[in-house]
Amino acid sequence: MPEGLEAEIWRRASEPLVGRTIAEVIVDDRVVADGFVATVTGATIEGIRRRGKVVLVDTDRATIGLHFGMTGRLIVDGVAPIEQLAYSSGRDDPTWDRLVMSTAPGGRAVPPALRFNDPRRLGRVSLDPDLGRLGVDYAEVTPKRLAGALDGRHGVLKSILLDQHVVAGLGNLCVDEVLWWARLDPRRSADSLSATETGRLAVVIRRRLPIMLSLGGSTAGVLNPSVRATCPPCERDGTPLERVVIGGRTTVWCRAHQR
C-alpha cells in the first residue's frame, strides 16, 4: 500500500498545480467529502504539502486531503508519477477515478490536472482534515522525538511504528526496512529500546528513507517485494530471512542480526 514515501513522490509531482484555479471537479461521492465540489470549484491552489501518508492541497478556500488507503494513486497532468506500484494492478482504468480535477485554462483538450484513482475505493478525499493526532512525521524524526514517541508504549515495536499517531508516514515495507537496518527485532516491546537503540533507529529513518525515495519509494529497499516473497539469505550475514505475521501484518526479518 502507499506509504509516506509514495505520498512524497505525489506531493512533488503535484507542485506544478500551484497557482492554478480549479475549473471543474468530478467526484465519486462515496469517497469524497460532502460539499467538496461547491467548495473547491473556482478555488486557487496555493500549495502542496504532505503529512505522514496524506497529501494536502491548500487552496484559498479550504485544504483538500488526499488519503490513499490501500490502492489509491495520483495522476498529474496525465502522468502517473508511480507507474506501477507492487500492490496495485498497474492498470489505469478511468472508471476507478474518485476525483477528477481540471484547472483553467485547458478544457477538455488537455488531460485533467489531477486524478485520484483508487480501484478498491479504500482511500478518501477530505476537506480541511484534522491531522492533529498524527505523530512525528518520518521526515522530521530525531532521536529525541522518537524517544518521546516510543516512551510508555508497551506494544510490539513493529506495530507501534506502524501506528500513525506515533510516527506518521511509515507503512509495512518501510518499518521492516528500517528495523533491518537498525538491527532491531520487530517483536520487541517498543519501550524496551535503550537510548542508543532509539538513536540508531532514528538515524536509520532519516538516512534510509530518502535513499529509498530517490530509488522509487517503499518498494526500493533491501527487503523489497521480491525478497519478501522468496526470503533469500540476509544480505548482511547470510542467514535466511524469516516471514512472520506480527499484529496482522506480514513481517520479514533476520533472526541473526536483528536483536
Residues 225 and 219: beta-carbon distance below 8 Å: yes
User: In the bound complex, what is the minimum distance in angstroms from residue 208's beta carbon to Zn ion?
Assistant: 16
Q: How many residues bind Zn ion (CB under 5 A)?
A: 6
**Nearest distance, CB of residue 258 and Zn ion, angstroms:** 7
Positive or negative, the CA dihedral 113, 118, 123, 125 is: positive
Among 145, 188, 236, 243, binds Zn ion (CB under 5 A): 236
Q: Helices 4-14 & 195-215, crossing angle to 10 degrees?
A: 40
Q: Is 158 a catalytic residue?
A: no
In whole angstroms, how close is the CB of 145 to Zn ion at the nearest point?
28
Using CB under 5 A as the binding rule, whether residue 254 contacts Zn ion is answered as yes
Is residue 144 part of the annotated active site? The answer reads no
Residue 78, phi-psi category: left (phi > 0), alpha (psi -120 to 50), beta (remainder): left
Closer residue to Zn ion in complex, CB, 58/242: 242
Q: Is 151 in the site for Zn ion (CB under 5 A)?
A: no
Q: Does 243 bind Zn ion (CB under 5 A)?
A: no
Strands 249-253 and 73-76: unpaired
From the candidates 50, 51, 53, 115, which is the catalytic residue? 53
CB of 183 to Zn ion, least distance (A): 8
Report H helices in 49-194.
143-150, 157-162, 172-182
3-state secondary structure of 227: helix
Backbone φ, ψ for residue 18 (5° rounding): -65, 130
Block residue for cell numbers 506518521: 168
When asked if residue 237 is in the footprint of Zn ion (CB under 5 A), the reply is yes
The one segment of 112-120, 152-160, 215-223, 236-244 that binds Zn ion by CB under 5 A: 236-244
Is 184 a residue that touches Zn ion (CB under 5 A)? no
CA angle, residues 150, 66, 144, in degrees to nearest 5: 20
Per CB under 5 A, 257 contacts Zn ion: yes
Q: Which of 142, 240, 155 is nearest to 198 (CA)?
A: 142
If binding is defined by CB under 5 A, does position 167 make contact with Zn ion? no
Distance between CA atoms of residues 225 and 26, nearest Å: 35
Nearer to Zn ion, 60 or 235 (CB): 235
- Residue 256 CB, shortest distance to Zn ion, in Å, is 5
Residue span 195-234 as binding mask against Zn ion, x where in contact by CB under 5 A, dash where not: ---------------------------------------x
Can 53 be counted among the known catalytic residues? Answer: yes
* CB of 83 or CB of 235, closer to Zn ion: 235
Phi/psi for 108 (5° steps) reads -85, -5
Residues annotated as catalytic are 2-3, 53, 249
Q: Which residues bind Zn ion (CB under 5 A)?
A: 234, 236-237, 254, 256-257
